Amino acid sequence: FMQKQFDMNIKLGKMLEDITAQEAKMTEKLEQKKSRLKLLEEEFALVQEQVKYPIHTETIGLALLEQRQALPSMLNYRRESAQRQVQIGEIRSTQINLDRQRRELADLDQLVKRVIESSGVSPDADIEYLTAELRRLLADRRDVLKKLQTGYQRFFKNIQSLEFIEQEVATKAEDLAQFLDGHMLWMRSAKSIGLDDFQKVPEALGWIINPHNWLQVAQDSGYSFRRNPVTWLIGMVIAGFLIGF
């Protein structure tokens, strides 16, 4: 039974190593997302200044188009957010389990006595030695559990902060995308047709016949409709009028 108690300590020690490593990665990712949000805000302010000028060259149009295509996708945010919600649920479950284990170790003397009595120790065994060793193992376990609880609390807080920052990034990117779409409509954002464009025709046809790409278009269109239903309805009415006319 002593080996079993020792193995449990080893398992908890590995959990502590894992959560410490995950926490470090999460902290780094959180800082990166904060920087991305700040950069998006700066890009938005710069674009708003650029479109104020009446002269919109092809170079500016292409630069804005590339910027538009590089923006984070709301669809990716929703997918990653769903994964984070699952992870948050797993963290809460682990925290509950850690709380239970630590409560069981509140009274070490009683726990040591109960474990030894239920282990079926031989009458010839050195009970005093076993009691001392078991108490040491359980005391170490209690310390590890305390550190685990602290680590999981920080990790839980960081993943919630990441969810908030990711939402801010996705919303800011969507606002910038709509702003760019509204202004790029009136400026040239494509190069003159050349020989290179004809060489890319097979690649373009491959994109067109790929069902995954059309699924992406449908999902983005659905999200855009839910976000701006009035604009879509006005556009469909105008299109219907023009077709009928």
> Among all chains, which residue has been given the structure tokens 């009970």?
127
- How many Å apart are CA 245 and CA 241, to the nearest integer? 6
Band the pLDDT of 242: cuts 50, 70, 90: low
Q: Assess contact for 172 and 40: CB atoms under 8 A.
A: yes
Query: What pLDDT is recorded for position 177?
Result: 84
Mean pLDDT, range 30-58, rounded to an integer: 80
Calculate mean pLDDT across residues 185-199: 59
Q: Is the pLDDT of residue 57 over 80?
A: no
Mean pLDDT, residues 8-24 taken together: 93
Count Cα atoms within 13 angstroms, Cβ side, for 155.
24
**Residue 60 dihedral angles phi and psi, to the nearest 5°:** -65, -40
What pLDDT was estimated at residue 226?
74
Residue 42 to residues 58, 82, 147, 174, Cα–Cα distance (Å): 23, 28, 40, 15
pLDDT cut 70: percent of the chain above it: 82
Using the predicted structure, report yes or no on whether residue 191 has a pLDDT greater than 70. no
Instruction: Name the more confident of 21 and 107.
Output: 21
Q: What is the pLDDT of residue 91?
A: 94
The structure tokens 């509950």 sit at: 96
**Least reliable range by pLDDT among 72-81, 141-150, 163-172, 183-192:** 183-192
Q: What pLDDT shows up at residue 112?
A: 83
How do residues 152-165 score in pLDDT, each as one tens digit? 999 999 999 999 99
pLDDT tens per residue, range 204-224: 788 788 888 778 777 777 766
Taking the C-alpha atoms of 93, 95, 97 and 101 in order, what is their torsion angle to the nearest 10 degrees? Answer: 180
What is the pLDDT, as a whole number, of residue 184? 63
What's the pLDDT score for residue 231?
Answer: 72
Whole-model pTM? 0.66
- Provide the pLDDT for residue 222: 73
Is the pLDDT score of 62 beyond 80?
Answer: no
The residue type found at 85 is Q
